Structure 1
Amino acid sequence: MEKVPMLAEGYEKLTADLKALRQERPKIVEAIEEARAHGDLSENAEYHAAKERQGQVEATIADLEDKTSRAQIIDPTTLSGDKVIFGATVTVLDEDDKPMKYQIVGQMESDAKRGRISYDSPMGRALIGKNVGEEVEVTVPSGERFYLIEKVEFI
């Protein structure tokens, strides 16, 4: 079984989402029962919408349960070194010497606007395993981009 690396913050969000969805289950069952009471199910839009929502919620619950059961929680503050690994905060210089800072996180935690990129993204894959001072090449829609790893922190 493949582990799913994530920060403690990401794990807490997953478990909170899972708890909220589990609490939604009885409400969905009530909506289905109420819609059933209206009669003919073949033309009952409320019934079909409630059943569809139930299917979505159950699929999401199964997915979140799978991810939380395989979670490998990583605390970046316990790590150190000059090598880019999961949880590291990396400062890179682009071709114009413009500094950019990214934290390498799990897929569920990534948020480019907050500077958090997935280890599985093109940039994340290019950075993982590299050291301070190395140059990485990343394929982006506009072509190839080169970045110099300036600093690796574990905060």
Structure 2
Amino acid sequence: MKGRHMTRWRDPAKDPRQEKKTDLITGEGYARMQGIHDHLRRVRRPELSQKVAEAAAQGDRSENADYTYNKKELNRTIARIAYLAKRLDALTVVDRLPDDQTRVRFGAWVTIEDDEGEELTVRIVGPDETDNRKHWISIDAPLARALLGKALDDDIVVAAPGGETHYIVTNIAYRAASPSA
């Protein structure tokens, strides 16, 4: 977790502004979340606890920036650990391929083509494992919702801020994810 800055985090279950997430996740996504949870619990939390204790030993806590900063980071980390533990318990791991691989289902890599001939390949994953760089989109996203159940050469229409966008499904694939995918 070095180099990562934790931003303000809110528990989606307690935040009415958050929509309900689908509780599906791929096997590799679950393993990644479990790894983050374990790292925070086994490494980051004890590290921050030690820093808080060292800063507290320096005396007046009200004017001790190290104490204040590390205490806030510790509290954020504890909240994140609790959220991840709760979320991991709620998730359903989808670890098998669908019976009908000719249709778009959870975990599929789908290549679509727009009206200008531009192609885009996306993977439909759970909301906890989306990654814009990899083009992994949440099953809850409008594009994924439009794709679910579609077959090769099916047309789809997705509502976008600039109007409707039309696509055609040009490829559907199911495979194990590689670390560079």
1:134 Cα deviation (Å)? 2.4
Q: Is the 8 A contact 1:3 1:72 kept in 2?
A: no
Is 1:140 the counterpart of 2:171? The answer is no
- How many percent of aligned residue pairs carry the same amino acid? 32
Q: CA 1:3–1:66 in 2, change beyond 3 Å: closer, same or farther? A: farther
One-letter amino acid of the structure 1 residue matched with residue 51 of structure 2: A
Stretches of structure 1 lacking an aligned partner (at least 5 in a row): none
Is 1:10 the counterpart of 2:29? The answer is yes
Matches within 5 A, 1:18-29: 18-23=37-42, 24-29=44-49
Q: Is the 8 A contact 2:127 2:140 kept in 1?
A: yes
The equivalent residue for 1:42 is 62
Separation (CA, whole Å) in 2 of partners of 1:79 and 1:21 = 37
1:78 Cα deviation (Å)? 5.0
The equivalent residue for 1:63 is 83
Task: Give the number of the structure whose residues are more often strand, by fraction.
Answer: 1
Deviates more, 1:120-129 or 1:46-55: 120-129
Which is bigger in relative contact order (C-alpha 8 A, separation at least 6)?
A: 1
1:84 Cα deviation (Å)? 1.6
Is 1:52 the counterpart of 2:72? The answer is yes
One-letter amino acid of the structure 2 residue matched with residue 56 of structure 1: R
SS in 1 for 2:25: strand
1:83 Cα deviation (Å)? 2.2
One-letter amino acid of the structure 1 residue matched with residue 23 of structure 2: V
Give the TM-score normalised by the residue count of structure 2.
0.76
Matches within 5 A, 1:76-87: 77=97, 79-87=99-107
Give the TM-score normalised by the residue count of structure 1.
0.88
SS in 1 for 2:92: strand
One-letter amino acid of the structure 1 residue matched with residue 32 of structure 2: K
Separation (CA, whole Å) in 1 of partners of 2:104 and 2:123 = 10
Q: Is the 8 A contact 1:134 1:149 kept in 2?
A: yes
Task: Give the number of the structure whose residues are more often helix, by fraction.
Answer: 1
1:79 Cα deviation (Å)? 4.2
